[in-house]
Structure 1
């Protein structure tokens, strides 16, 4: 009997999965990995360059310190943990909401589809950044509000992508047979439609996480995100913009971290998309 070969992960999958695993470990276990307290200020260690002695707590500051003498590496790890938590929470909410709307619009069609998609079109006509700024101004800053803002800005993408797939799935014979047998619409959507859209939803979620990280960083850069004292990548870039000539590492290192994470997530999303096309 011939064995069924398992699909190879490939270079893109190996690189993206390895990079994301490293990022996940470094950020989730930041309290154990960070060499210093990210909130502790040391006035004698203001703006010291990377790989310099850090007299505030002893040892060496691998990525230097900021304008208040706080260790950049420690703040980078803590900021990454917060950025990932915010983006994953926002994508989870927007993914559930958008997928439910997309399935309902594609399955029922007609007036339901027209109303839901017009709402999506209205939101798409408003730039995500502008919508986020307005919502933060109304709701106020804070961790919970930022998650809500990002979730509201992200549901449309899920809804449109899932709807386009449901339009073809609902014409399948097994779906038509289930409806002919009198199976309730909700049961048909949960048992026959949703399982066949999970790969698409997962791919879209991976790509949306990178968008949420970038949007959250932009809000923090503008001072509309989390409290200023809390380490965030966007806030660190904002703090370093005034010292770009004398302390390049303050903005450059967080900016490179954002770029590396987004690149890794996008590679992973592309790999998932390739796997979905092979199915």
Structure 2
């Protein structure tokens, strides 16, 4: 378990930057100039304004507007909300499913282990984007559908990690002692074996959240992600792709920077968490 000194080490710049990302996403309705997907708040005659242009209402569009007159800065703030929501919910749900499946495979063994791990091996042998595309095409568009698709993509990674840890835990004396008690197997799994197999998933969780952000952005860029009236960073980047050849670079550039910064920050946070939860990495 992490000690007090490790918690102090966790207060690093990537964590502060990620906290700022989350704060901006949560406060978007309060600090954004407009809701860029509310037609009553968008002025079509202010389309494709370059960064720093003053609008008709006296507001300065610091990052410019897109081809429909939507404020780029506001679009980034609202896009962050969807990107973070989809990625965090899908990663947490995938962690719960994957941990349960991996620990169950280690505990029951035999045909249960063989069945679960063959499914895991089959999924991990396929390209991640291919699995995501098949899932989203099968399920259809929508935030709930893309969350489910990302869960399908990610659960297998948690299951493999959890199984490897649970196999070593299942052979320890405290598990042997618990087996001799008249307790249901499900209680042994969730009360004794699963809690001792969670730590490795804690180091994996931030990485998978960043992975989910990238996958959701890619699917939204391809038009297979969240609906157009519920923007994410990926769909915001896609909105300006058709304008790049006309010199209106800012429509895609600034959302792209925000997306890149979010993924990089989450990965740095994952590295910090790995150092906290994995004592062997502190000497590296």
TM-score (norm 1): 0.92
Question: Among residues 21, 24, 27, which one is paired with 1:26 in the alignment?
Answer: 24
* Partner residue, 1:66: 66
* Partner residue, 1:46: 47
**d(CA) in 1 for partners of 2:153, 2:92:** 13
**d(CA) in 2 for partners of 1:205, 1:147:** 15
* Partner residue, 1:223: 223
Deviations 1:227-250 (A, max 9, x none): 224322111211212222412111
Deviations 1:42-65 (A, max 9, x none): 23322112122122x431111110
Deviations 1:39-98 (A, max 9, x none): 24323322112122122x431111110011110011110010011111111112211111
**d(CA) in 2 for partners of 1:278, 1:138:** 42
CA-CA distance at 1:25 after TM superposition: 0.5
CA-CA distance at 1:135 after TM superposition: 2.2
Q: Is the 8 A contact 1:13 1:267 kept in 2?
A: no
* Partner residue, 1:271: 272
Q: Is the 8 A contact 1:87 1:147 kept in 2?
A: yes
Deviations 1:138-196 (A, max 9, x none): 22111111111111111101100111110111112211221133443222222221221
* Partner residue, 1:16: 14
CA-CA distance at 1:201 after TM superposition: 2.0
* Partner residue, 1:199: 199
**d(CA) in 2 for partners of 1:240, 1:206:** 29
* Partner residue, 2:132: 132
When the two chains are superposed, the root-mean-square deviation of aligned CA atoms in Å is 1.8
Q: Is the 8 A contact 2:88 2:209 kept in 1?
A: yes
**d(CA) in 2 for partners of 1:82, 1:73:** 15
Alignment map for 1:1-279 (pairs within 5 Å): 6-9=4-7, 13-39=11-37, 40-55=41-56, 57-245=57-245, 246-278=247-279
What is the total number of aligned residue pairs between the two structures?
A: 274
**d(CA) in 1 for partners of 2:6, 2:211:** 28
Gaps of 5+ in 2: none
Secondary structure at 2:104 match in 1: helix
Q: Is the 8 A contact 1:38 1:231 kept in 2?
A: no
TM-score (norm 2): 0.90
Distance 1:6 1:137, change over 3 A: closer
**d(CA) in 1 for partners of 2:162, 2:141:** 31
**d(CA) in 1 for partners of 2:152, 2:58:** 45
**d(CA) in 2 for partners of 1:173, 1:58:** 72
Q: Is the 8 A contact 1:76 1:254 kept in 2?
A: yes
Q: Is the 8 A contact 2:135 2:152 kept in 1?
A: no
**d(CA) in 2 for partners of 1:168, 1:157:** 18
Secondary structure at 2:248 match in 1: coil
Deviates more, 1:225-234 or 1:19-28: 225-234
CA-CA distance at 1:9 after TM superposition: 4.2
